[in-house]
Structure 1
Amino acid sequence: MTEPRVFRLPDVGEGLIEAEVLRWLVAVGDEVAVNDPIVEIETAKASVELPSPFAGRVLALHASAGQVLPVGVPLISFDGGDGGDVGDAPAVPEREAVLVGYGVAPTASVRRRKRTVAAAPVAAPVAAPVAAPAASRPLASPLVRVLAREWGVELALVSATGHRGQVTRADLARHRESASSLGGTPVRGVQRSMAAAMTRSAAIPQASLWVDVDVTSSQSTLERLRADAAFEGARVTMLTLVASAVLAAARDHPLVTSRWHELPDGSAEIVESPLLNLGIAADTARGLVVPVVADAGGRTLPELATEITRLIEASRAGSLSPADLSGGTLTITNVGVFGIDGGLPLLNPGESVIVAMGQARPRPWVVGDSIVPRPVMQLVISFDHRVLDGAAASRFLADVARGLSGTS
């Protein structure tokens, strides 16, 4: 009998070391085709549906929903099929991974799975699961297991009252009600990743600066650009102009896209980035994500507007690729869309500057000897004080403000 083929957890990002299993999309006994989605995992960057590297029957799932696994451990086993071994599994999914959302509809070339056996375990030899030996797997019907996955309940934590220790639907419901009565909500997925990133961010010595900007000139520019055929298909907003001003200023202030790097001997160095990769914080149904405009500094304004539009729409649709979430060197967060004037943003770990933009609203403004109403926006930056001092950060912010006010 041929040996089972094992697919190990791949690194779907830039050196990520672990991922959380959110939900299985297949079960033991399912027949799958190459590139069929088999599991949804969550990394420190986003959630990803992994496609199958093999065609064949599923023999074993080596982890349960909610379990965090290191990269490289067995994830799922298939029957021997027509050949191939552990080494045949690709390290990166072959089709574009789906991030942040719940996935996209499969293409016409993807075949539906065919279930060939009941939910009972098969007798074929399989690799030992990482989580626990098979004997310790809680007894439960397929329906109860499906409900447990949907409710985010770990069956091993449920007190079983069924025949021979089986977890019943009533047991599951009681456990869920008991957990709800305590008022606790498990921290998972994007929120867990964000919490970890913000904890790391809190260890960075950060300082903040802010300035009010008269954006009358920028609003006139917006009206002109929206009528320009070169921007057809793109959403041209104040974010577009802030991004352009930030990039223009960053070209003259290379420390803005540099990062602090600690060396093994205890010393440190400041590493400059050869590219301006601009992160755009995006609010989605599943939490905050930061897609990245790659080589934003080398794009024209229409190209920049088009790419920002694509990334924000893809963030909310859950169709970003891993590359869309990697490599940022500088981030913008737009709190103005929530009707907020400003705030002190926290740095993305690995970056040295983040820019927060507030809403543009009418405020009294001194023009010559008169006080007149003008649309005014607050810009705030937080910066790594190990990389930039107050003078360097101030000069950068002042250049951004001049670019938006039209006085540069």
Structure 2
Amino acid sequence: MTTMTEASVREFKMPDVGEGLTEAEILKWYVQPGDTVTDGQVVCEVETAKAAVELPIPYDGVVRALHFPEGTTVDVGMSIIAVDVAGGTGGAPVAAPIAEVPAQAPAQAEAPKAEVPQTEVPQTEAPQAAAPQAEAAKAVGSGRQPVLVGYGVAASSTKRRPRKGPEIAVSRVPDTIQAELNGHGSAPAVKERPLAKPPVRKLAKDLGVDLATVVPSGPDGIITREDVHAAAAPAAPATQAAPVAEPVPQVTQAPVTTPAAVPVSSYDTARETRIPVKGVRKATAAAMVGSAFTAPHVTEFVTIDVTRTLKLVEELKQDKDMQGLRVNPLLLIARALLVAVKRNPEINASWDEAAQEIVVKHYVNLGIAAATPRGLLVPNIKDAHAKTLPQLAESLGELVSTAREGRTSPAAMQGGTVTITNVGVFGVDTGTPILNPGESAILAIGAIKLQPWVHKGKVKPRQVTTLALSFDHRLVDGELGSKVLADVAAILEQPKKLITWS
């Protein structure tokens, strides 16, 4: 039998796909042990603190091992897949390190070695028994944390999140290995982990649905939201008024005077839900706490008549140069903010604590806060100040669509200079937004409502909204902040200023 040589096996390590990220969760593997891969082929999808990213393999070869199952959080710099770049004609593929399989029993050692070769992965690269686990234990035990590939390790007290036990064991162990273990009675069968996106897993958890019992209808056996709802529907009592998909309303709609009418199991399930803090939510929480307790926030408000702006929006929708583009009030508000920044460039700055300097940016990367299934993301439009109105509309449309599809790249969320958050879409009048780290200003847009307004000396129904501008008081004083907010308000009340002030 021909076996792999040390030189033929390449270990692909978890890269830093963002800016200083230290870990990522493996969402889905697109390849199996034994599959042939080519340079640039996407082999898995991972979720970082900033985005879901597909990882391409950088060489040709045959997959020999997947070191971690789906759902595992892996430190940057740890090997996640082994590839035989020589083409690998010998030896059976290894699905995962043996440490991922339930603990060995004595009968296991008697299994024929020819069926599960122990020389498939070179010991100098990644010992087959437990390479990733040994590497992680060594890093944790010495107080070190893996960093970028090729740069060794750095001192840190951070530990990789522990795995949750046998129920999340690797789902890619070949059937031959499972049959061998079960045939000798040495270990229980490895439980396959159902395929589902994080939002679908959360929905299933909220509804109390075991994903292992759900029949998938999505591509490649992926469980969809509809599958979860279908699995939950039969469990609803015939006399239950509230839909099963909304467990909390079931409790709130129960008669206050007859709490016993609510089944104990349903009541207990609906009392509280625990959501792991990771990914985007974890990063957002850390960033907002850091921003709130680092930059002294000041927020100013102004209520304005935007009737003329809404009329202009309707006119632009009919313009042939804007056909096929997303034209809405946000587009003109974004343009108004860009004009205000041009008139007051000091607002487009950041605070350099180390150098004790204020860094004024001569470009505007305009951030747009977007609510997505993965949480709140703030991708930004690069060099928005240099775009024409049609170009800005096209960029806004692409930004929103990409964010909603969960495909926003880490690069799209880096380097922002000033941000807009539209809380009005939720029917909220206004708010006091917290600055994105590294930025000095953020503009909140409230709901646009028809209200009585004094117009030309008479009270008339007009389209009215409230703007709120939060800024870093270390580098933006009250005068500068007020000028910027006043300029945005003036443009939205009199859109012709977009021409006279540009």
Q: TM (normalized to structure 1)?
A: 0.77
Q: Which residue of 2 aligns with 1:198?
A: 288
1:28–1:137 CA distance, 2 compared to 1 (3 A): farther
44 and 256 in structure 1: CA distance in 2 versus 1, 3 angstrom threshold: farther
Instruction: Provide the C-alpha distance between the structure 2 equivalents of 1:390 and 1:131, rounded to a whole number of angstroms.
Output: 54
| 3-state SS of paired residue (1:131) | helix
Q: Distance in 1 between matches of 2:164 and 2:427?
A: 50
Selected match of 1:41 from 46, 64, 68: 46
Aligned to 2:266: none
The Cα RMSD (Å) is 3.6
Shift in Å, 1:331: 0.8
Shift in Å at residue 60 of structure 1? Answer: 3.5
Q: Measured at CA, do residues 272 and 24 of structure 1 come closer, stay the same or move farther in structure 2, by a change above 3 Å?
A: same
Quote the Cα distance in structure 1 between the aligned partners of 2:362 and 2:13: 34
Q: CA deviation at 1:344?
A: 1.2
Larger RCO, structure (CA 8 Å, separation 6 or more): 1
Tell me whether 1:21 sits opposite 2:25 in the alignment. Answer: yes
Shift of 1:201: 2.0
Q: 1:57·1:78 contact (CA, 8 Å) conserved in 2?
A: yes
Residue pair 1:355, 1:379 contacting (<8 A) in 2 also: yes
Show the counterpart of 1:160.
none
Change (3 A) 1:118 1:242: same
Q: Which runs of 5+ in 1 are unaligned?
A: 84-115, 148-162
Task: Tell me if structure 2 keeps the 8 A contact 1:260–1:387.
Answer: yes
Instruction: Give the aligned partner of residue 75 of structure 1.
Output: 80
| Paired positions, count | 355
Cα distance in 2 between the residues matched to 1:62 and 1:382 = 46
Query: Residues 374 and 139 (structure 1 numbering): CA distance in 2 closer, same or farther, change over 3 Å?
Result: closer
TM-aligned CA distance change 1:61 to 1:196, over 3 Å: farther
Structure 2 residue runs of 5 or longer lacking an equivalent are 97-115, 138-161, 173-184, 195-204, 212-268, 498-502
Find the aligned partners of 1:313 and 1:291 in 2 and give their Cα distance. 11
Q: Secondary structure at the match of 1:145?
A: coil
Q: Distance in 2 between matches of 1:134 and 1:371?
A: 70
Aligned twin of 2:132: 130
Q: Please state how far the C-alpha of 1:168 moved relative to its aligned partner.
A: 6.2
- Structure (1 or 2) with the larger CA radius of gyration: 2
- The C-alpha deviation readout for 1:290-349, integer Å capped at 9, x for no partner, is 221111000111110111011111111233344332221111111111222111111111
Matches within 5 A, 1:124-273: 124-126=120-122, 127-128=126-127, 129-132=131-134, 145-146=170-171, 164=186, 166=188, 169=191, 183-203=273-293, 204-263=295-354, 268-273=356-361
Q: Which of 74-83 and 269-278 deviates more?
A: 74-83
Given the superposition, is the C-alpha separation of residues 259 and 139 from structure 1 closer, same or farther in structure 2, using an over 3 Å criterion?
closer
Amino acid in the other structure paired with 2:284: M
Partners in 2 of 1:237 and 1:138 — Cα distance?
47
What is residue 215 of structure 2 aligned with on the other side?
A: none
Question: What is the one-letter code of the residue matched to 1:125?
Answer: V
The answer on 1:405 being equivalent to 2:409 is no
Secondary structure at the residue paired with 1:378?
A: strand
Is the Cα contact below 8 Å between 1:17 and 1:70 reproduced in 2? no
| Aligned counterpart, 1:5 | 10
2:101 aligns with none
Partner secondary structure for residue 364 of structure 1: strand
Greater Cα offset, 51-60 or 238-247: 51-60
Distance change >3 Å, CA 369–CA 81, structure 1 → 2: same
Identity %: 40
Q: Partner letter of residue 433 of structure 2?
A: P
Task: After TM superposition, give the deviation of residue 16 of structure 1 in Å.
Answer: 2.2
Quick one: distance in 2 between partners of 1:125 and 1:22? 22
